Amino acid sequence: MTINMNDMVIISVDDHITEPPDLFDKHLSPEHLATAPKFCTDENGKNYWTYQGMYMPSVGLNAVVGRPPEEYGMEPSSLEQMRKGVYDVHARIDDMNANGIAASLNFGTVAGFDGGRFHKAENKELALIHLRAYNDWHIDEWCGAYPGRFIPCGILPTWDMDATIAEIKRIAAKGCTAVALNENPTVNGLPSIHDEYWEPMWKAITDYDITMCLHIGGGNPSPHASMETPIEAWITTMPMSVAVGAADWLNLSALQRYPTMKIALSESGIGWIPYFMERADFSHARHKAWTNSAANFQGKKPSDVFRKHFMSCFIDDDFGLKNLSAFDEDMVAYECDYPHSDTLWPEVPEYLHKSVQCLTDEQVAKVTHKNAMRFFNFDPFKHYKREELTVGALRAAAAAANVDTTPKSYGGAKPLADGEEGRRVVSGDLMKMFAHHAEAQTRSAK
């Protein structure tokens, strides 16, 4: 490659929003606003949401960007314990500029990556109304504030297939080209993806050319070996836990009926995927005679089906990029994971430029932005000239706006009790921190 770091254009296909308190205000009638999810603050200053009798204790969920690394394990429990870019779109643009990110696809937090909060609501009539308002906020208000800087990503009321189809049409009309889905709907009590229940959705999704984003964490678990396991073990294996869902979807017969179906494996990592594809081919070749899957794959190799339909993405993945030839090079994209603890903000360009050294200029363009643009039908260059969206230009804008990226202490719930400092943090500590946090919030909300 010959491209300079400052000339790169970077699109991230996986970032997160902690929803702001006024989320629903402009998108609901007073009557429906009264029953919408509500942002609250307890007597200790902790923020939480309530909805239909449910409590969503953590408003942060690992939103630790901008802290010193010593505080990455501390869980924000109020907006004040987070960088403003986590929940404020204007500050987000500043943070994207400082990080040289031209555009970004965002998942929600209180709603769940996949809109799961609305699935858990008992009154589904209200949930549908509020879910639509959520999409209006996300598409019109958040993404709409800076056209060309965000790839809108809706959520769907998949408990009701008619409403799902209607919502696909509605958000597509707004220019939304992606939806976030739970990769394993059985965890929400819905039929598996192999059930005919989903047929109308497959049709509508492909008719309206919408990409389905399957983000880790919503459906299939990322297992902890034991509660005494050092937490880095869990962090290490989390992206690879995508494999269970990826294999499930790879065997979806609808892929054969809808050849334009597009699936993004959000936060997947890429380095393990060539092995996964080869293993899928081996499994099919060795077992198809008794699994009766030959008719499904119609002589195609599972790896070819994967390459055609699935986009994977990487944060920092030298081994995967070195083996880009094992992929369809049009199907790999960058992800920043702002504001979660894996994010390399504000140094993404430095890390990324280094790890794409092994690629050609055209390959660099593809994995940094062109693939995301094509896969998500998203064209930032309709709104900006290329030279306005380069790392150099965006960072110059951030500098002009005095965006401060100095690490700051933000506090929050601690994984270790006082007096335990220095002990290795284990899976059980995180479980306890979340359970304690949830319990405290529930008590205070009553």
Residue with tokens 């707004």: 174
User: Of the ranges 93-101, 123-131, 191-199, 363-371, which one interacts with its own copies (CB under 8 A)?
Assistant: 191-199
Least distance in Å: CB of 342 to its own copies?
A: 7
Closer residue to its own copies, CB minimum distance, 257 or 287: 287
Q: Does 357 bind its own copies (CB under 8 A)?
A: no
Return d(Cα 438, Cα 32) in angstroms, integer. Answer: 27
| CA trace torsion 395, 399, 404, 405 (10° rounding) | 20
Least distance in Å: CB of 359 to its own copies?
A: 17
Return d(Cα 60, Cα 109) in angstroms, integer. Answer: 8
User: Of the ranges 55-63, 71-79, 329-337, 380-388, which one interacts with its own copies (CB under 8 A)?
Assistant: 71-79
Among residues 26, 194, 300, 436, which is the contact residue for its own copies, using CB under 8 A?
Answer: 194
Residue whose C-alpha is closest to residue 160's, from 192, 197, 115: 197
What residues form DSSP beta bridges with 212?
179, 263
Among residues 37, 57, 73, 108, which is the contact residue for its own copies, using CB under 8 A?
Answer: 73
Q: Does 237 bind its own copies (CB under 8 A)?
A: yes
Q: Which two tokens stand for residue 369?
A: 């932005």
Closer residue to its own copies, CB minimum distance, 23 or 321: 321
Return d(Cα 98, Cα 404) in angstroms, integer. Answer: 9
Residue whose C-alpha is closest to residue 59's, from 11, 128, 99, 117: 117
Among residues 4, 123, 291, 357, which is the contact residue for its own copies, using CB under 8 A?
Answer: 291
Q: Does 41 bind its own copies (CB under 8 A)?
A: no
User: Of the ranges 39-47, 55-63, 167-175, 287-295, which one interacts with its own copies (CB under 8 A)?
Assistant: 287-295
Q: Does 274 bind its own copies (CB under 8 A)?
A: yes
Among residues 220, 363, 371, 390, which is the contact residue for its own copies, using CB under 8 A?
Answer: 220
Residue with tokens 């709603």: 111
Closer residue to its own copies, CB minimum distance, 347 or 387: 347
Return d(Cα 423, Cα 443) in angstroms, integer. Answer: 30
Q: Does 422 bind its own copies (CB under 8 A)?
A: yes
Among residues 275, 354, 436, 443, which is the contact residue for its own copies, using CB under 8 A?
Answer: 275
Return d(Cα 7, Cα 21) in angstroms, integer. Answer: 37
Among residues 5, 233, 397, 440, which is the contact residue for its own copies, using CB under 8 A?
Answer: 233
Single-letter amino acid code for the residue at 370: K
Q: Which two tokens stand for residue 303?
A: 């790896």
Among residues 29, 30, 162, 292, which is the contact residue for its own copies, using CB under 8 A?
Answer: 292
CB-based burial of residue 357 (10 Å sphere; 0-12 exposed, 13-18 middle, 19+ buried)?
Answer: exposed
A 10 A CB-CB count for 298 gives 8
Closer residue to its own copies, CB minimum distance, 52 or 323: 323
Contacts of 211 (CB under 8 A, 6+ apart): 177, 178, 179, 262, 263, 264, 311, 375, 376, 377
Q: Does 44 bind its own copies (CB under 8 A)?
A: no
Q: Does 105 bind its own copies (CB under 8 A)?
A: no
Query: Would you say 273 and 318 are in contact if contact means Cβ atoms under 8 Å apart?
Result: no
Among residues 186, 206, 256, 360, which is the contact residue for its own copies, using CB under 8 A?
Answer: 186
Among residues 282, 383, 386, 417, which is the contact residue for its own copies, using CB under 8 A?
Answer: 282
Phi, psi of 126 (to 5 degrees): -65, -40
Return d(Cα 88, Cα 19) in angstroms, integer. Answer: 8
Query: Would you say 333 and 371 are in contact if contact means Cβ atoms under 8 Å apart?
Result: yes
Least distance in Å: CB of 358 to its own copies?
A: 13
Q: Which two tokens stand for residue 409?
A: 């202490």
Q: Which two tokens stand for residue 29?
A: 């009638």
Closer residue to its own copies, CB minimum distance, 24 or 345: 345
Among residues 15, 75, 94, 248, which is the contact residue for its own copies, using CB under 8 A?
Answer: 248
Q: Does 226 bind its own copies (CB under 8 A)?
A: yes
Residue whose C-alpha is closest to residue 310's, from 375, 373, 217, 378: 375
Query: Would you say 213 and 181 are in contact if contact means Cβ atoms under 8 Å apart?
Result: yes
The site for its own copies, by CB under 8 A, has a size of 81
User: Of the ranges 12-20, 124-132, 235-243, 330-338, which one interacts with its own copies (CB under 8 A)?
Assistant: 235-243
Q: Which two tokens stand for residue 16?
A: 């997160």
Single-letter amino acid code for the residue at 43: E
Q: Does 383 bind its own copies (CB under 8 A)?
A: no
- Which residues in 323-342 contact its own copies (CB under 8 A)? 323, 326, 341-342
Least distance in Å: CB of 44 to its own copies?
A: 22
User: Of the ranges 84-92, 272-280, 331-339, 372-380, which one interacts with its own copies (CB under 8 A)?
Assistant: 272-280
Closer residue to its own copies, CB minimum distance, 106 or 220: 220
DSSP state of 279: H
Among residues 42, 160, 316, 330, which is the contact residue for its own copies, using CB under 8 A?
Answer: 316
Q: Which two tokens stand for residue 118?
A: 């609305």
Among residues 1, 33, 126, 247, which is the contact residue for its own copies, using CB under 8 A?
Answer: 247
